[in-house]
Structure 1
Amino acid sequence: MDYEPKDNEYLKDVKGCATYTEIKEWIMSEYGLKVSSLYVAQIKDKCGFDKRLNYNMGENKSHVPKCPQEKEKAIMAAFKHFNMI
């Protein structure tokens, strides 16, 4: 027997997962802001999310920009939209 739920109510307590691209596209459409993957990763770190290992680490010689407050708020809104927090 196949079961097809009538709505997504059964998913309301399940933590969501969105790709960096989905998050960046949602922020662009909702806020008109362009955010980098670096900023999304910084906010994921701040929230304590698990991330995959980054093999492109560099030599720690360059300056790493910090996510501006305006973009941090937009990223947090995206996390809420995708049920990540």
Structure 2
Amino acid sequence: MMLSAWWLWVLGGLVLAGLELAVPGYFFLGFAAGAVLTGGLAALGIAGTHTALTLVIFALLSAVAWAALRYVFGVAERDVKIIRRDINED
């Protein structure tokens, strides 16, 4: 199957990593890590040859990579504003 070729996954991961340079926010970096890891597993023969199984593995690895990146880098201060008091109550 074409989707189980390991080099396509690695190439897709590199393209997504390059796209991350243009779009800030660590959004595509999780998908890039998931694609590269899926390519590595496919090269080792662990990811399987079925397209559906390979896509599930990619989705799981991408979710884990995204969560790990959020944990490591955190949420930027500019992303979330928490208002502790109302300025009209003074």
Q: Give the TM bin, normalised by the shorter chain.
A: under 0.3
- The TM-score, its normalising length taken from structure 1, stands at 0.24
Task: State the structure with bigger RCO (CA 8 A, min sep 6), 1 or 2.
Answer: 1
- The TM-score, its normalising length taken from structure 2, stands at 0.23
Bigger helix fraction: 2
